Structure 1
Amino acid sequence: MSETTSRVLQLLGLLQSRRVWTGEELAERLGVTTRSVRRDIDRLRELGYPVAASKGHGGGYQLGAGAALPPLLLDPDEAVAMAVCLRLAAGGSVAGVGESALRALSKLDQVMPNRLRSQVAAVHDATVTLTSTTSEVVAPDVLMTLARACRDREHVTAGYVDRAGNPTRRRLEPYHLVTTGRRWYLLGYDRDRQDWRSLRLDRMTDVTAAGSTFAPREAPDAADYVRRSISTSPYRHVARVRYQAPADAIAAHFPPASAQIEPDGPDACIVTAGADDPERMALYFAVGGVEIEVLEPPEVIAAAKAVAERLCRAVSP
């Protein structure tokens, strides 16, 4: 491969990795002059890549979408990751993806080197997917619109149905998408409520990018915020329980999105989780196989006592 061809491919990879690059930034990354960058941009355009150029503050080079999809530049790790994801997509939680994923996989597999194809096959053969019975699938256009808006810091508007079934209209600054495997969530700043929100994508409709961008705020950790939202806020009772075991050991007993686990010294931890039925919650906390202490609330403490007494009567002579 010639030096020029290698540099053009490197330039393409940079343009695919970020929304806008200035000529000076590209020249510095490639180790060439801005004049060479302009010539390489012209070569990409001749190959069918729609590279837009804009002047002024915030301007630069941007890889746009064209009428036809030119070749993507993937390194070996990216190719393997994409192929594995496509193979698993048929059993995922995005509506209508299965058939499209298979078509895309067949095209990728056709040009993939044998050594990479064998890696993909090994991962696929060793993986068993438990299909979900949930019908809470996400429309692909909703997922893609929000993903692009998160990347480009673009305002979106959307219809949303809350937990009580009430329809609302949201004006959002989208930051991150979070998936638990069964559901997708958006961490976003609600401009009307002036606060952060986690929103289920399957409850969102008519998601539209507004075309305007926003300056990033200092955002909370997306995974932690969504975990707190779905493990406690939807429930009538939120309990705190001290386990006499390290946090890492107890984390294995809880699904990632079901509880918050915080260390309480080297040999103990505090678990916070929510539920509507205090007695079910008490039984759930007791299955860890270690000593526990229910700290709050009073309803769950009373339920734990009642369950313990009932179990003692069940095994008494």
Structure 2
Amino acid sequence: MKEFIKKDKPQQTKEAKKNKNHFEVTEETQLLTFLLASMPHKSRHNVKALLRDKQVLVDNRAITQFNHILKPNQTVDIKDSKAPQEQRYKGLKIIFEDQYLIIIEKNEGTLSIATEKQKLHNAYSILSDHVKKEDPRNRIFVVHRLDRETSGLMMFAKSEKVQGLLQESWNATIQERTYLAVTEGKVKEETGTIESYLVENKALTVYSTRNPDHGKHAITHYEAIKSSENNSLLKVNLETGRKNQIRVHMKDIGFPIVGDEKYGAKTDPIGRLGLHAWVLAFVHPITNEQMYFETPIPKKFLWLF
């Protein structure tokens, strides 16, 4: 294992030497690799919990991304206590915010944006009010959306420029978008890829076609994490991001998402749509920093296994 810590740096104070939670970086490496090498008594799970709870400071700044790149001469400190609770609103919580972006975890049942029937209490309006508390001129910009009954990670921009940068280079910027899906039935193939062209009809229902001239290309990869006789918990990665893509593709292979009557489900064992945006990883459009966010698996999803 590589040695990342300078133990005898001349200018290091006696207090710092005594502090078992203070480390110094000597070569470029990922933060998780560094922490595991620096604290061999802690498991990978323990270290990820420290990152999640914002107890890891790099040059006195809390970092939560496990793949954050450390540079020589930076310092890493571990706080003894958790950071204050993320800012919560009814229907969502803010898990990251800087001057350019806001990352939220949206609850199922909360709209991403307003509709004709419901103008208020959606993620966009809540965050718009949030940024205006600091300055009434502040605005928020939609980058991507989640279906109303889908929970999980969403990203919003705090300027039109940043929104444009993200949307124009979406495929290059987004490194991982992983969902969790609970399906009806035990999937026959534990891993697979579904590919089709998606079309939306006048009733606003999306369906697959093999005709590239009539739809938008969609590719979905899945892997079974848990299975029972009646259900499967899948990790789903999107290669493309089309409307209702996962829901349609799960229906296409004969294993619709639980609670999704629109796309063929006949059961609703957890009282909600079994779809959650679990992981979001991307390159920050301004700072070029590697960003990684992961949410806990919804407890209801685990009830069935």
Normalization by structure 2: what TM-score?
0.25
Larger radius of gyration: 1
Larger helix percent: 1
Larger strand percent: 2
Normalization by structure 1: what TM-score?
0.24
